[in-house]
């Protein structure tokens, strides 16, 4: 878990790994340099849970409002796991853009 805005806490999840890592790295450096840390903001806060043969469930917001279930949610979860969570590796401009501490990707 990580502390987030307004007293909320995120659960450990693949879709938050990169932004959490960027924030943590920035805050380690800030601590060493004596500057102010950045708060972590999950933007947007969402979760995707694979339910095996039953499909998946997608939620949004801190209240975890269900936004999709079943096969539709399963397709989205598979896209997250196979495409969205991986950083660029062969495009220098995209790598630098994704490295921005101000982007949640």
Q: Is residue 105's pLDDT more than 60?
A: no
More confident residue, 19 or 64: 64
Q: Domain range spanning residue 4?
A: 1-41
Looking at the structure, tell me whether residues 59 and 37 fall in a common domain: no
User: What is the model's pTM?
Assistant: 0.71
Judgement on whether residues 48 and 37 belong to the same structural domain of the protein: no
* Residues 36 and 51 reside in one and the same domain: no
For the purposes of burial, counting CB atoms within 10 Å of the CB of 35, is it exposed (0-12), middle (13-18) or buried (19 or more)? exposed
Judge if 4 and 23 occupy the same domain: yes
What is the C-alpha to C-alpha distance for residues 9 and 30, in angstroms, rounded to an integer? 22
**Residue 98 lies inside a defined structural domain of this protein:** no
Q: Confidence class of residue 58 from pLDDT cuts 50, 70 and 90?
A: very high
Strands, E assignment, the chain? 2-3, 9-10, 46-50, 56-60, 65-69
Collapse the DSSP code of 4 into the 3-class scheme (helix H, G, I; strand E, B; otherwise coil) and give the result. coil
Number of neighbours of residue 17 by Cβ within 10 angstroms: 11
**Residue 91 belongs to some domain of the structure:** no
Q: What's the whole-number average pLDDT of the chain?
A: 85
Task: With a cut of 90, say whether residue 96 has pLDDT above it.
Answer: no
- In a domain, residue 100? The reply is no
What's the pLDDT tens digit per position in 2-35? 777 788 888 777 777 778 888 888 899 999 999 9
Q: How many domains does the chain have?
A: 2
User: Terminus-to-terminus CA distance in the chain, angstroms?
Assistant: 18
Q: Which two tokens stand for residue 105?
A: 């990707």
Quote the pLDDT of residue 77: 93
Residue 54 has which token pair? 């039953």
């Amino acid at each position: 878990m990580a502390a987030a805005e307004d007293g909320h806490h995120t659960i450990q999840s693949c879709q938050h790994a990169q932004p959490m890592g960027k924030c943590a790295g920035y805050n380690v450096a800030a601590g060493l340099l004596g500057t102010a840390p950045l708060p972590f903001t999950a933007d947007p806060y969402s979760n995707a849970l694979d339910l095996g043969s039953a499909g998946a469930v997608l939620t949004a917001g801190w209240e975890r409002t269900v936004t999709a279930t079943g096969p539709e949610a399963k397709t989205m979860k598979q896209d997250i796991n196979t495409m969205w969570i991986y950083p660029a590796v062969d495009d220098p401009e995209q790598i630098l853009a994704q490295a921005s501490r101000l982007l949640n990707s």
